Amino acid sequence: MDFINLKKQYQVISENVNKDILNILDRCDFVLGEEVFELEKCLASYVGVSECITCASGTDALLIPLMAYNIGKGDAVFTTNFSYFATTEVISLVGAHPIFVDIEEDSFNLDPTNLEKEIVKILNEGNLLPKAIIAVDLFGQLANYQKIQKIAKKYNLILIEDAAQSFGASHNNQKSCSFGDISATSFYPSKPLGCYGDGGAIFTNDKKIAELCKSIRVHGQGADKYDNIRIGLNSRLDTIQAAILLNKLKIFDKEIKIRNKIANYYSEHLKKYLIVPKISNGNISSWAQYSLLTESNKEREDLVKYLKEKDIPIAIFYKKIFSEISVYKEDNAFNNYDKSKNISNLIFSLPMNAYLEQNEQDYIIESIEKFYK
């Protein structure tokens, strides 16, 4: 059994992918080739925004906007305490201070009430200037943007959506990557829409910021290629990756539907034994991960060990909350993050992908039933 099943997916698309890769090899048009610009058009239209800028990774898709908005020294950027390291790493990379916000236990996403508390606290302390919020759509479910957008407006903060795990998700038919002033996704192979290497994309309706991001993507290039007008990065997308993504985009909606069907099937059968994921009204998740909660840490350790013995691949996202990761520990020694701490002790994820066979789903469910009987 496979956690992500990239091999089975490749079997479905291999004919076209191989043909397209060979064509690019023939053309020797390897970086920012025509497929990259075609992909940007398709992605922008899929998401429903005017601008899409592809780049070299999901991490860069977060970093480039921070650079474009000139966020840095002395600035506070508010983000969840429970996500993948890259979410906060980029804040530190530009020299700003990440301020961690505790989560909602139902959605695992940052809690708007706590967000406002942290903003007020930083304003009262007066040492840092609140500049931006990075909200994460963890495991594929959108954060509570109805509330987060209001808070961003009230305190005049830039809202960045970290949609690395949620491409394809939606709220009342509005698509992920359209909720921030600027939004970022990742095409790392295991993400809902993955390529065959590293890749990412930035989305916005702001043409000016989009132009800045395009310049930063290529070393801060201006009109003259060799007269750089700002400091940037090398963060271009390979043409081959773009061709792969164009092929995967064709089957993507079908895959999201199947992921949702599998998630419902899991939940229906597992809610007797475990706390199953809660999806808020109006939300459709892209199910980057299907994550469950046990009642205790000991129960999780025993269950995970049992399932691994049954050859079921299990992952734990995330064992460490940001405030307890070595590089951030000291700064957060006196902060309390009860909810994220609690969730990180109880959570684990089951195999989730559109190629998980019915008998595999049943085997996983039966194994969990056996553990509890």
Ligand X SMILES: *Cc1c(COP(=O)(O)O)cnc(C)c1O
Please identify, using beta-carbon distances, which residue of 201 and 243 lies nearer to ligand X. Answer: 201
Q: Which of 5, 83, 183, 235 binds ligand X (CB under 6 A)?
A: 83
Instruction: Identify residues 125-144 at the interface with ligand X (CB under 6 A).
Output: 136
- Binding span for ligand X by CB under 6 A among 162-170, 172-180, 201-209, 232-240: 162-170
Please identify, using beta-carbon distances, which residue of 83 and 368 lies nearer to ligand X. Answer: 83
Q: Which of 165, 215, 283, 340 binds ligand X (CB under 6 A)?
A: 165
Q: From CA 162, how far away is CA 58, in angstroms rounded?
A: 9
Mark out the alpha helices in the chain (DSSP H runs): 6-27, 34-47, 58-68, 86-93, 112-125, 145-154, 207-217, 239-270, 297-309, 326-329, 338-346, 358-372
Q: Which of 98, 200, 232, 351 binds ligand X (CB under 6 A)?
A: 200
79 binds ligand X (CB under 6 A): no
86 binds ligand X (CB under 6 A): yes
Q: How far is the CB of 87 from ligand X (least distance, A)?
A: 5
Q: From CA 288, how far away is CA 352, in angstroms rounded?
A: 7
Q: Which of 81, 87, 183, 247 binds ligand X (CB under 6 A)?
A: 87
Tokens 């479905």 — which residue? 12
- Binding span for ligand X by CB under 6 A among 82-90, 121-129, 250-258, 332-340: 82-90
91 binds ligand X (CB under 6 A): no
80 binds ligand X (CB under 6 A): no
Neighbouring C-beta atoms of residue 221, cutoff 10 Å: 17
Q: Which of 5, 54, 57, 332 binds ligand X (CB under 6 A)?
A: 57
**Which residues are 218's β-sheet partners?**
234
CA R_g for the chain: 21
Let me know: does 63 contact 93? Beta carbons within 8 Å: yes
Residue nearest to ligand X (CB): 58
Q: Which of 20, 39, 43, 58 binds ligand X (CB under 6 A)?
A: 58
88 binds ligand X (CB under 6 A): no
Region of 95 on the Ramachandran plot (φ > 0 left; ψ -120 to 50 alpha; else beta): left
196 binds ligand X (CB under 6 A): no
Q: From CA 125, how far away is CA 165, in angstroms rounded?
A: 34
Q: Which of 59, 79, 176, 344 binds ligand X (CB under 6 A)?
A: 59
Instruction: Identify residues 342-371 at the interface with ligand X (CB under 6 A).
Output: none
Q: With 0-12 CB in 10 A as exposed, 13-18 as middle and 19+ as buried, what is 163?
A: buried
Please identify, using beta-carbon distances, which residue of 161 and 270 lies nearer to ligand X. Answer: 161
CA 352, 357, 360 angle in degrees (round to 5)? 80
195 binds ligand X (CB under 6 A): no
**DSSP labels, 204-247:** ES-HHHHHHHHHHHBTT--SSTTS--S---B-PPBHHHHHHHHH
| Interface positions with ligand X (CB under 6 A) | 57-59, 83-84, 86-87, 136, 162, 164-165, 186, 188, 198, 200
